[in-house]
């Protein structure tokens, strides 16, 4: 099998890297990792072996015996990075790459102590999805190329290393005042799930299989917010079957983390914006947990099949919450998702190829076409399958599907073939091919209804006819209610309407980031000046792209707020994650 992944130089005909031994030192003063990656091949081979790298400085490649292995680094491609070609001698099954990462490594964010909660120690974290692992490790950086690994990470003694792997011994390093942390990853992972963080990190047990890690200042709040994790884990196992990663621990990140969550096996990463104080945003934890099956066990073959990861996971997230909180919770979640989907479809335009589930991203940067389409259009399609098959049969199907493909990476077509065998006729009945290969939203999209949802939608949609929520009643709305109501309101309101909303419900002082952001988007679109200070401070506090992108877009689209967008960005760009910075630069370029 040669290369099937348009975003990787991997060629399995040359060999397969199935295990890696990493030995890296973390140098905060130069913002580099340096050390070795020992690549172990499935079987002895010879000749060229192509690896993905981006901005890695490779100094030497050797065999375990110390003989030099010739190598060549090709010119850097803007999207793919640089192909590293090793010339393996006869019978070679191991190569040791001696290298350092670049201070600009796209997967890494190096934080100054001022950017952490404690303000005393620097912090470093990785974010490898979709194709950033290659900026940290020389790898066959395709989701098709699973590997196990062992890692040694050496850091200054006041810092702690956590990793998506089983922690092993911690001991004194060769140099004074440094420590070495060891990790073992027994389950094979695709490279995009390789993850670690370094900082002043502590932890607390939340259940027999779960522990929360974070900075000491955040531990109490995080432990309370996600205290229900063990119940989620049990509910998820009921939907999918046994949890195969031993532990489900998670790390609450510094604020600059660019995503809501990242499903790194054995150590999910979560944005601190989930710490609302009322457990109202735990759906993100349910989502990342669900990836333990859909995504981490059964993985998309390439980024073009990304909907297999995300569509199934959104479906699973809502299914788990339905089991825990009831059908109405699911309808509200689905409605919030649908609003996001409609917005994405409108932005791309109905004929855009980015509104297909199966994409063709060759030559394009996955970060650039990331959107809610694979999530929410995917969710709707999986829900259609469920409706067509009936719940009981679909529940059995999901477990079979996971078990059949666990620890492999599959294409959309392999999924469809399995679906047709397991549930004959279901794909045809819902016109799955239309959903997958054509753009836009087919008209058999399922609707999720509930009396509460209908009340909120009617109220918001009647805004221009003078309908208003009763301020006293609004006080008792749940965070989901508020999200839906604000999302359904007209994007632009008069100054008077903005003032009324804010004075009645104190939205600018909201502690729930979802409610706050939905409100600030309206305020930005409406050019509502009294909210500008909060917009500015919010944009300096958070790094989550879900909030940054729509807010900057709204500001940038307004005649009067365009310069404000540019100014706020100039003040804060240095603190944003490189991926977020890139995305915002594209927005602010026009
Ligand atoms: N795996 C994604 C995050 C991701 C996707 C990172 C693509 C890089 C490239 C994660 O599981 C995710 O979907 N996070 C969402 C959570 C939400 C849908 C509940 C997020 O970050 O908002
Ligand atoms: Zn996801």
DSSP string for 460-501: HHTGGGT----HHHHTT--HHHHHHHHHHS-S---HHHHHHH
Q: Is the pLDDT of residue 460 over 60?
A: yes
Distance 377 CA to ligand 2 centre (A): 13
Per-residue pLDDT band for 590 (boundaries 50, 70, 90) equals: confident
Q: For the segment 120-154, what is each residue's pLDDT rounded down to a tens digit? A: 999 999 999 999 999 999 999 999 999 999 999 99
Residue 350 is predicted with a pLDDT of 85
Residue 123 in any domain: the answer is: no
Distance 534 CA to ligand 2 centre (A): 29
Per-residue pLDDT band for 3 (boundaries 50, 70, 90) equals: low
Whose Cα sits closest to atom 22 in ligand 1?
260
User: Per the structure block, which two tokens stand in for 278?
Assistant: 């009322």
- Distance CA(481)–CA(452), nearest Å, equals 8
Q: Give the CATH number for residue 579.
A: 1.25.40.320
Indicate if 214 and 81 belong to the same structural domain: no
Q: Classify burial at 102, counting beta carbons within 10 Å of its beta carbon; exposed 0-12, middle 13-18, buried 19 or more.
A: middle
Residue 2 is predicted with a pLDDT of 56
Kind and range of the H or E run holding 312: helix 306-325
Whose Cα sits closest to atom 15 in ligand 1?
260
Mean pLDDT for 421-441 is 98
Q: Is the pLDDT of residue 66 over 90?
A: yes
Q: Give the CATH number for residue 58.
A: 2.60.40.1730
Indicate if 432 and 464 belong to the same structural domain: no
Which of 437, 472, 492 marks a domain boundary? 437
User: Per the structure block, which two tokens stand in for 367?
Assistant: 């970060």
Which of 384, 413, 437 marks a domain boundary? 437
Give the ligand 1 atom nearest the CA of 375. 18
Whose Cα sits closest to atom 14 in ligand 1?
261
Q: Is the pLDDT of residue 1 over 60?
A: no
Residue 244 is predicted with a pLDDT of 98
Indicate if 412 and 533 belong to the same structural domain: no
The set of protein residues with a Cβ atom below 6 angstroms from ligand 1 is 129-130, 259-263, 283-284, 287-288, 291, 310, 370, 375, 546
Residues marked active site are found at 288, 375
Indicate if 148 and 253 belong to the same structural domain: no
Indicate if 153 and 283 belong to the same structural domain: no
Mean pLDDT for 399-413 is 98
Mean pLDDT of the chain: 97
Whose Cα sits closest to atom 3 in ligand 1?
262
Indicate if 424 and 530 belong to the same structural domain: no
Residue 195 in any domain: the answer is: no
Whose Cα sits closest to atom 21 in ligand 1?
260
Give the ligand 1 atom nearest the CA of 366. 9
CA-based nearest residue to 253, from 148, 124, 119: 124
- Distance CA(165)–CA(264), nearest Å, equals 9
Residue 523 in any domain: the answer is: yes
Number of domains in the chain: 3
Give the ligand 1 atom nearest the CA of 579. 8
Distance 262 CA to ligand 1 centre (A): 6
- Give residues whose Cβ lies within 5 Å of ion ligand 2: 310, 313
Q: Is the pLDDT of residue 119 over 70?
A: yes
Mean pLDDT for 172-183 is 98
Per-residue pLDDT band for 510 (boundaries 50, 70, 90) equals: very high
Pocket test for ligand 1, best of 143, 250, 258, 259 (most atoms within 8 A of CB): 259
Q: For the segment 538-586, what is each residue's pLDDT rounded down to a tens digit? A: 999 999 999 999 999 999 999 999 999 999 999 999 999 999 999 999 9
- Distance CA(70)–CA(225), nearest Å, equals 52
Q: For the segment 310-337, what is each residue's pLDDT rounded down to a tens digit? A: 999 999 999 999 999 999 999 999 999 9
Residue 478 is predicted with a pLDDT of 96
- Domain encompassing residue 82: 17-107+129-165
Indicate if 391 and 245 belong to the same structural domain: yes
Q: What is the pTM of this model?
A: 0.98
- Distance CA(424)–CA(412), nearest Å, equals 17
- Distance CA(318)–CA(571), nearest Å, equals 38
Distance 259 CA to ligand 1 centre (A): 6
Indicate if 483 and 395 belong to the same structural domain: no
């Amino acid at each position: 099998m040669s290369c099937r992944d348009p975003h990787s130089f991997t060629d399995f005909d040359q060999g397969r890297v199935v295990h890696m031994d990493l030995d890296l030192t973390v140098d905060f003063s130069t913002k580099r990792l340096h050390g070795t990656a020992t690549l172990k091949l499935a079987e002895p081979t010879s000749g060229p072996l192509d690896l993905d790298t981006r901005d890695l400085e490779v100094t030497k490649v050797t065999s375990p015996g110390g003989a030099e292995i010739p190598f060549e680094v090709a010119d850097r491609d803007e999207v793919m990075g640089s192909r590293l070609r090793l010339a393996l001698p006869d019978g070679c099954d191991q190569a040791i790459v001696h290298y350092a990462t670049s201070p600009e490594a796209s997967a890494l964010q190096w934080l100054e102590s001022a950017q952490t909660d404690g303000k005393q120690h620097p912090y470093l974290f990785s974010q490898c999805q979709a194709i950033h692992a290659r900026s940290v490790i020389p790898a066959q950086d395709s989701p098709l190329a699973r590997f196990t690994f062992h890692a040694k990470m050496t850091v200054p003694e006041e810092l702690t290393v956590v990793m998506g792997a089983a922690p092993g011994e911690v001991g004194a390093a060769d140099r004074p005042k440094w420590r070495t942390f060891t990790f073992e990853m027994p389950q094979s992972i695709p490279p995009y799930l390789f993850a670690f963080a370094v900082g002043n990190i502590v932890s607390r047990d939340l259940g027999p299989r779960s522990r929360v890690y974070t900075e000491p200042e955040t531990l109490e709040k995080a432990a309370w917010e996600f205290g229900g994790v063990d119940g989620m884990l049990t509910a998820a196992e009921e939907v999918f079957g046994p949890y195969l990663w031993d532990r489900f621990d998670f790390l609450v990140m510094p604020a600059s983390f660019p995503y809501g969550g990242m499903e790194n096996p054995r150590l999910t990463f979560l944005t601190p914006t989930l710490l609302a104080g009322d457990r109202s945003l735990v759906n993100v934890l349910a989502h990342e947990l669900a990836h333990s099956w859909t995504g981490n066990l059964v993985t998309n073959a390439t980024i073009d099949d990304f909907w297999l990861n995300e569509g199934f996971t959104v479906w699973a997230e809502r299914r788990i919450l339905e089991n825990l909180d009831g059908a109405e919770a699911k309808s509200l979640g689905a409605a919030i998702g649908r609003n996001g989907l409609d917005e994405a479809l409108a932005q791309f335009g109905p004929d855009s190829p980015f509104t297909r589930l199966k994409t063709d991203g060759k030559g394009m940067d996955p970060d650039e076409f990331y959107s809610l389409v694979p999530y929410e259009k995917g969710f709707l399609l999986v829900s259609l399958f469920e409706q067509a098959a009936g719940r009981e049969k679909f529940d059995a199907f999901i477990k079979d599907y996971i078990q059949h493909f666990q620890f492999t990476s599959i294409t959309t077509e392999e999924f469809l073939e399995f679906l047709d065998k397991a549930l004959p006729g279901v794909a045809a009945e819902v016109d799955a091919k239309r959903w997958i290969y054509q753009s836009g939203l087919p008209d058999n999209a399922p609707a999720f209804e509930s009396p509460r949802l209908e009340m909120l939608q009617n109220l918001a949609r009647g805004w221009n006819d003078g309908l208003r929520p009763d301020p006293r009643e609004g006080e008792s709305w749940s965070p989901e209610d508020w999200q839906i109501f604000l999302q359904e309101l007209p994007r632009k309101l008069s100054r008077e309407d903005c003032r009324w909303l804010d004075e009645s419900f104190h939205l600018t002082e909201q502690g729930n980031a979802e409610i706050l952001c939905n409100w600030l988007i309206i305020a930005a679109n409406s050019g509502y000046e009294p909210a500008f200070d909060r917009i500015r401070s919010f944009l300096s506090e958070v790094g989550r792209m879900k909030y940054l992108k729509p807010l900057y877009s709204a500001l940038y689209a307004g005649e009067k707020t365009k310069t404000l967008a540019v100014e706020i960005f100039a003040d804060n760009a240095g603190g944003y994650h490189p991926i977020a910075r890139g995305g915002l630069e594209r927005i602010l370029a026009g």
